[in-house]
Amino acid sequence: MSAIDPGLHYPIDLSALPKKWEVCYLGDQIKDIQPGFASGIHNQEGNGVPHLRPMNVNRQGNIDLDVVKSVADTNGLRLRRGDVLFNNTNSPELIGKTAAIGGDENWAFSNHMTRLRPPPNIFGKFVAHQLHFLWMSGYFKHRCVKHVNQASISSRTLAQSIPLVLPSLTEQQQIVAEIDKQFTRLEVGVAALQRVQANLKRYRASVLKAACEGRLVPTEAKLARAEGRSYEPAPQLLARILTKRRNSWQGRGSYKESTLPETSSLPPLAESWTWASLDQLQSLLRNGISAKPNAKNGLPILRISAVRPLQVNLTEIRYLTAKVSDYCDYALKGGDLLFTRYNGNPDFVGVCGVVPVLTSPLVHPDKLIRCQLVSDTALSAFVAIMANVGESRSYLTKRVRTTAGQAGISGGDLKGLPIPLAPLAEQKRIVAEVERRLSVVDQLEAVVTANRQRATRLRQSILNRAFTKMQAD
């Protein structure tokens, strides 16, 4: 036992093992340890053999078949019941995810995975739980070899330098049975949390849908009739916006007529609403700075990831070696709208958030488009709500184009973005009601997220009990 050197960060105290427990290197007891095979040609139609890859072992240590690609294979390497599948190549944080194979599905596996086939006196699921516990403890992050953008653990390293603690086969099976019982209870709770999370997501979507269809609050037209008063309907508001837009154009050359919304395929709106284009509502629409951030401090510039639907996260920043006076035209103000012009994920292209009140200078990068609205005519928060859902979102989704792995939209696409425009007083009520309801959703989602994180900690605690604390019992 003293000859085993686990290296640093190993979470099991080998000197405290029960007397009848054995400790060895993995390869001392498990002789069949080998990686799978690479294949550049995959398909998702099920043609050939299912080929498991790193994504098919999840963070809970289970086989995940949500996305399975198949390959034409004559290699012959297969997984069978009782095998252990170890993720040997990934980012350093994910190296070592491990799962047991519980059936006879005739799966193949990639060269980024290592198959361990234990002998009859070793229960594969016990080994899988133990290796996954080492991963959850961060052990493999310190044992892997780091390459550019990824890391790896070779079969030789796994076999010759990773310890394995072994009670008798009967005790292995008893420990696994208790782990699985506790995990089953935990997964029932996690499934309930996932249902709550899905319901909150649906409720959020229904609130925003009702807002953009004029069903969330009483319309201004209905209230004005009931109260016997006059009001400014949205078509009149739009006419006033266009007048202010033209009058504020001085000093910017010849006036550019605004892009009209294409309304032929758009649905009718609530009473006294009208369709407007973003171009009709804006007084400024501009890409950001193309300079590359390279400083540890200086002028803060937002990351692309700072903008998400209805959000601008001011902590998502980098720095330019510059002063705000160098980029006056790009200094953001509270109430500005920011649209994502490019993103690696098409779902985030064209999404919009409102810049909150700023207490220090902040600029935006070229892949974000800044929009300022004609003053005192439309609420930034209202336009952001409308831009992120319904027909407006559908308009941008259809115009996303992919170039060199980046999905994007053009400024011209954004100018034509159709926005359902409500009377100004109604805009204020809609924004207030959306914020009220979504703040409740945010609070509940925070509770759910905290409990899911707690479930992850409980999972690790169960494994910790199995492989460390039980040693003292």
Find out whether 193 and 455 touch, Cβ atoms under 8 Å.
yes
415 shares its domain with 430: no
Domain-embedded: residue 292: yes
Say what the pLDDT of residue 470 is: 52
Asked if residue 379 belongs to a domain, the reply is yes
| Dihedral (Cα; 109, 111, 117, 123), 10-degree rounding | -80
Query: Final residue of a domain: which of 126, 141, 167?
Result: 167
Residue 201 maps to a domain: yes
The two structure tokens encoding residue 162:
């990773």
**pTM for this model (two decimals):** 0.82
Instruction: Answer yes or no: is 5 within a domain.
Output: no
The answer on 343 and 380 residing in a single domain is yes
- Overall average pLDDT of the 129-136 stretch: 96
Indicate if 265 and 413 belong to the same structural domain.
Answer: yes
How many domains is the chain built from?
Answer: 3
Domain end position, chosen among 422, 443, 465: 422
How confident is the model at residue 160, as a pLDDT? Answer: 95
Do 57 and 140 fall into the same domain?
Answer: yes
One domain, residues 92 and 236: no
| Cβ-contact 400, 308 below 8 angstroms | no
**Predicted local confidence at residue 471, as pLDDT:** 47
Number of helices (H), then strands (E), belonging to the chain: the values are 11, 25
* Cβ within 8 Å of residue 440, ≥6 positions away: none
What's the DSSP call for residue 331?
B
- Note down the domain range covering 465: 168-226+426-473
- Other beta carbons within 10 angstroms of residue 163's beta carbon come to 20
Is the domain of 273 the same as that of 398? yes
Residue 181 has pLDDT above 90, yes or no: yes
Q: Give domain status of residue 4, yes or no.
A: no
pLDDT digits (tens, 9 = 90+) for 346-357: 999 999 999 999
Decide if 48 is inside a domain: yes
For residue 40, what pLDDT band results from cuts at 50, 70 and 90?
confident
pLDDT digits (tens, 9 = 90+) for 188-236: 999 999 999 999 999 999 999 999 999 999 999 999 999 999 999 999 9
115 with 159: CB under 8 angstroms? no
Domain at 149, CATH number: 3.90.220.20
Query: Letter for the amino acid at 390?
Result: G
Residue 46 · residue 179 · CB < 8 Å: no
Residue 8 falls within a domain, yes or no?
no
3-state secondary structure 215-268: CCCCCHHHHHHHHCCCCCCHHHHHHHHHHHHHHCCCCCCCCCCCCCCCCCCCCC
Q: How many CB atoms neighbour CB 264 within 10 A?
A: 5
Residues 285 and 335 in one domain: yes
Band (pLDDT 50/70/90 cuts) for residue 72 is confident
**464 in the same domain as 341:** no
Q: Does residue 417 share a domain with residue 306?
A: yes
Give me the mean pLDDT over the 44-67 stretch.
91
Read off the pLDDT of residues 399-442 as tens digits, 9 standing for 90 and up: 999 988 889 999 999 999 999 999 999 999 999 999 999 999 99
Do residue 244 and residue 192 come from a single domain? no
**Domain match, 367 and 243 both:** yes
User: 400 and 430, same structural domain?
Assistant: no
DSSP 362: -
Residue 143 lies in a domain: yes
| Mean per-residue pLDDT over the chain, rounded | 93
